[in-house]
Amino acid sequence: MITFGPVQSRRLGKSLGINNVPPPKTCSYSCIYCQVGLTRHMTTRRREMYPPETILEETGKRLRLLDRADYPDYLTFVADGEPTLDKRLGESIRLLKGFEIPVAVITNGTLLGDPEVAEALSEADWVSLKADTADNETWKKINRPCKTLELEDMHASYKRFAEMFEGILVTETMLVSGVNDATDTIKETADFISTLDPLVSYISVPVRPPAVQSAVMPERSDIESARDIFLKVLPNVVLLDKFEGAETGYTGDAVQDITAMCAVHPMREDTMARLLGKDNAGEDTVDRLLREGKIKKTCYRSHTFYLKK
């Protein structure tokens, strides 16, 4: 499934997810905290993925199935991998604007040095750039990038994009205990982000099961200290350290709703229960998907989560 949700987003309100990267997970990073697991295909080479016309058609179908109360505030490219690896991303964004709903892209920014990628992202209304650290060694530990990437070059491309982008630009920094949460590291990260002048600088922590079990959130005092350091050089800092809630959109087809969402957005037990109720489906639907190997469940921070197998 290309589309899922809408899900309640801590950044975008109701967000209809668009997964424009076919499986297996394809990305230029293999972040230790990634909620969709380890990267199976590491690459920086862009290629054609789903045809933009197919993305348009699938998005239209889901919008028509939604109750008006679930209508999204944003159409969001949030993929099972890095969305800018899709060579036709810009075309897809332009087509989706016909729905007159703002289009967002959540990207790790690794390919912004490619003028075609920068041009494609400039079509969006809202762009989030990954900025976990400004230190090269820490970057390699937390994001585990393709060997062809250089952090200095990537950050230079961030600055060029920030200067030319006319939409809403935000950054997101994921804090992992013992990796990028040291005071000096946080200061360096905040100083770099300040050069981009984002509308909002988000600080997040792993609230869903990470790719690597040791990637856990810092102590509360360290999270608050990081926020205070950011606030010294950045005007608008928001902590994303809590569960966003169990509300989600539905289409009436529980199997498709569950598998599409679990591909990129692990579902907590209360979200699953709410979705089953809306789709008039029972627990046997989940049991069947587990038996068939389409999803799996795991426990993280005292909660059960369902995610792709």
pLDDT tens per residue, range 189-212: 999 999 999 999 999 999 888 999
Inform me whether the pLDDT recorded for 267 exceeds 90. no
- Domain ranges for the chain, please list them: 3-244
Report the alpha-carbon distance of residue 42 to residue 29 in Å, rounded.
7
Q: From residue 207, how far is each of 73, 165, 268 by CA, in Å?
A: 23, 30, 10
Task: Lowest mean pLDDT of 5-14, 99-108, 278-287, name the range.
Answer: 278-287
Mean pLDDT for 48-60 is 97
pLDDT tens per residue, range 106-144: 999 999 999 999 999 999 999 999 999 999 999 999 999
List phi, psi (to 5°) of 137.
-65, -40
DSSP category for residue 166? -
Say which CATH class 3-244 falls into. alpha beta
Inform me whether the pLDDT recorded for 263 exceeds 80. no
Cβ(53)–Cβ(14) below 8 Å: no
Residue 36 — left, alpha, or beta (φ > 0 → left; ψ -120 to 50 → alpha)? alpha
